[in-house]
Structure 1
């Protein structure tokens, strides 16, 4: 493991909400502390799983401050700073540096379509070049985030190579959430061990672990951190095939629902806490009947956040 590689499992934090659909800072910090206590390397707020683009810059800054005030060390936070407007991404990136975050997770520019590779490089450069008082902040670690099915565009090998050429000390890894194992392995062949490649699709974790991947930023790790850890860090352990089969069964269950409401539904079911069902529009949370059906579907898996 290199000094800059992302170590261990970093759950892509679900964002708990209050009755008025504002972020619940106490529940947010408590969830993060519980995951650190379960052995996670850190936590990742405000990515796709955390409904990041649904919250304002001010809300996201306040929530990260609440994590730190609530006992989550900055060094154990990988902040997703992605926004459609570059000044907003920059503001969140500078704030992450100010609280001592381990690093930032950053999407390519989304919303506008037909963007060229040069445009993507220019967008990253605009943020990185302004992260410090006189250019690139030397503390900055950036995990590039490839999720084209959500962002509407992805990160080509040429873009990654160009960013590495200009920012070799700042670009430290790639989170590949495309759900395409061949693509993830091609990234590993092209850029590891210089960069770490992490996959968001949990069934692909053993294959990347065998290539030297050091961990994962995972949605399922919100309630199965130890199982996710086994998949990537112990890919050839005798218990890993059974863990992988269980993960695949869970994903088949979740495939019948919109993903983020379903993940929050799992939290609600496991902790008997309906507050976890709240989501920001345009997402629609599970209703009582939907939660009951999800509970029934989950029962054979015997999920247990105390051991999973």
Structure 2
């Protein structure tokens, strides 16, 4: 099996996870959505991250869903699998499964249940996984989203892991939504570890520093626009795209993020099933959905244009 290329370029949407009436993963819809994003020019997809409600699904559910994507025509090498779990043996199992399939790489949170963990504990958790996977094909992207995980990735942690595993640690997904901190990460590491920012308004700034792509939630809805923000960050559409993304985020901020994204997908696809989320998340109420649909109409959302 050929080792995956790393680090990645272009847009890899933080994939939303459609659900059936019983709140199981709707794998057929999952694959259709994935293929539509690839057809729109996305380089790959990233299932089971924060936007995809990843920790709400079991190891078996996630493994079977990834198998289902590949069986339904999504190339394994275009999948960056989020393998983050509270229990490290499950992270190991999902990571091994991704490698067996030939996935591009894996995205991993720091240990996120126990808070107040020192840097050494974070390093030890990553070492526990990497050493047990023990596979030279592993390309690991570190996932920094402290406002959700409660556990930040410090510069010493990143530097230590890169020194210990120079061929394995290839990227950082920085979703901290702090531009100053993102630029500091880029200044410190981008020549050794690619830095990808998750906050879309910061994409042009990071692109100017050499960042080559993004794992983006908004790309579920506006893949072409987000792609331009990465590949043509100083192009003629740059200011218009920035304004459009900020207007979209202003709308999104009035709701729970994942529920709102799914409501938008329901509107764009005329499919109410997209509104479903798994507990503990709560779907949009009918009134919220109608309000969001009206806002999207006024916004002029169109996945075939944006």
Q: Name the TM tier (shorter chain).
A: over 0.9
Match of 2:27 in 1: 25
SS of alignment partner, residue 5 of structure 1: coil
Match of 2:141 in 1: 143
Give the alignment of 1:1-308 within 5 angstroms.
Answer: 4-131=6-133, 136-308=134-306
Q: Deviations over 1:115-150 (max 9, x none)?
A: 01000000000000011xxxx311100010000000
Question: Partners of 2:190 and 2:202 in 1: how far apart?
Answer: 16
Question: Partners of 2:226 and 2:145 in 1: how far apart?
Answer: 20
Question: Partners of 1:212 and 1:307 in 2: how far apart?
Answer: 27
Question: Partners of 1:272 and 1:289 in 2: how far apart?
Answer: 17
Q: Deviations over 1:30-70 (max 9, x none)?
A: 10011011110100000000000000000000000000001
Tell me how far 1:298 sits from its aligned partner. 1.8
SS of alignment partner, residue 8 of structure 2: coil
Tell me how far 1:230 sits from its aligned partner. 0.9
Question: Partners of 1:188 and 1:87 in 2: how far apart?
Answer: 31
Superposition TM-score, scaled by structure 2 size: 0.98
Name the count of aligned residue pairs.
Answer: 303
RMSD (CA atoms): 1.0
SS of alignment partner, residue 88 of structure 1: helix
Superposition TM-score, scaled by structure 1 size: 0.97
SS of alignment partner, residue 114 of structure 2: coil
Question: Partners of 2:45 and 2:242 in 1: how far apart?
Answer: 22
Tell me how far 1:6 sits from its aligned partner. 1.1
Q: Deviations over 1:139-167 (max 9, x none)?
A: 10001000000001110000000000100
Question: Partners of 1:192 and 1:204 in 2: how far apart?
Answer: 15
Comparing 192-201 and 272-281, the one that deviates more: 192-201
Query: Unpaired runs of 5+ in structure 2?
Result: none
Query: Unpaired runs of 5+ in structure 1?
Result: none
Question: Partners of 2:118 and 2:50 in 1: how far apart?
Answer: 23
Question: Partners of 1:307 and 1:172 in 2: how far apart?
Answer: 32
RCO higher in structure (CA 8 A, sep ≥6): 2
Tell me how far 1:287 sits from its aligned partner. 2.2
Tell me how far 1:300 sits from its aligned partner. 2.3
Q: Deviations over 1:95-115 (max 9, x none)?
A: 000110000000000110110
Where does structure 1 differ by over 6 angstroms across 4 or more consecutive aligned residues?
Answer: none
SS of alignment partner, residue 130 of structure 1: helix
Question: Partners of 2:161 and 2:86 in 1: how far apart?
Answer: 19
Question: Partners of 1:126 and 1:182 in 2: how far apart?
Answer: 31
Tell me how far 1:299 sits from its aligned partner. 2.0
SS of alignment partner, residue 20 of structure 1: coil
